[in-house]
Amino acid sequence: MLWTHGDSGAGNWLFAIDRQGHVIRRLRVKGTINVDWEDITHDDRGNLWLGDTGNGDSGRRDLSVHRIPEPDPYADVDEVYVDRSVDYFFPEQRRFGNKLADYDSEALFWWRGDLWLLTKHRSDDWTRLYRFPSLEGGEVGLELVARFDLGGYIDPGTRQRWSGQVTAAELALEGEYAGRYWAMLCYDGVFVFAVPASGDGGELFGEVVSWIAFDSGVTGQVEALTWDGGDLVVINEARAVFRIEDPLTRTRYP
């Protein structure tokens, strides 16, 4: 079972879906408003973290993440409640209202007790990795930890450079890959990285295990990513679900 949601204009709805993309339960989220929800992830304490992180013109001053105790999708309930919200900002940001400032984000993941965020760029092919220094509530300035150049990688089929528009990320949480690998999705494909044995997060980009180029005519605009055991599951904007087997060794999909 997977959790998903819509972004701006889609209302305050959270969806539990099965591995084929069929809706199991639709739940109204109470306690916040969907300005531009972009990603959702699990922590290690039974909660979901919902990112109101969409910031296409880098002009928002109300960016936030929301904690929701994970519900039972098979229970007879139709609402869930935000029990904590954390507002955040980028301490180094000086330009607002300019999409080339690159403070948009669509990717959250949980690792070693912390929530992490990746930026989506329009001015270059990079992404920046940030850590939330606190999740106790109120407002926090994100800690810049690392940068990664997606444009340094070439599609083996087209020989074109990849773009830096990151749309999702997730750590493997179960099966033989649990805690050992994490994945980062962009419009052109997906990267799989080895999880470092130690460090402060700056090493998360240290070992690229594989990068898998997509045939966009098949996958369309990909927006969501999760692990299912040793497979990667990707969902596009039209809600089509794609399963990527053997993600550590393959170079193209499909």
Domain residue ranges in the chain = 2-253
- Over residues 204-231, the pLDDT tens digits come to 999 999 999 999 999 999 999 999 999 9
What pLDDT sits at residue 66? 99
What pLDDT sits at residue 169? 99
Average pLDDT of the chain to the nearest whole number:
95
Domain 2-253, CATH number (from 2.120.10, 1.10.600, 1.10.20, 2.130.10): 2.120.10
At 161, is the secondary structure helix, strand, or coil?
strand
Residue 86 has pLDDT above 80, yes or no: yes
Mean pLDDT to the nearest integer, 6-31: 91
What pLDDT sits at residue 158? 82
What pLDDT sits at residue 161? 86
- Over residues 138-164, the pLDDT tens digits come to 999 999 999 999 998 888 778 888 888
The residues, any chain, with a CB within 8 Å of residue 53's CB and separated by 6 or more, are: 36, 37, 38, 39, 63, 65, 104, 105, 106, 108, 117
130, 3, 117: which is closest to 68 by C-alpha? Answer: 3
Task: Report the distance separating Cα 52 and Cα 40, nearest Å.
Answer: 9
**How far is residue 130 from each of residues 10, 79, 156, measured CA to CA in Å?**
27, 31, 30
- Over residues 113-127, the pLDDT tens digits come to 999 999 999 999 999
Mean pLDDT to the nearest integer, 47-58: 98
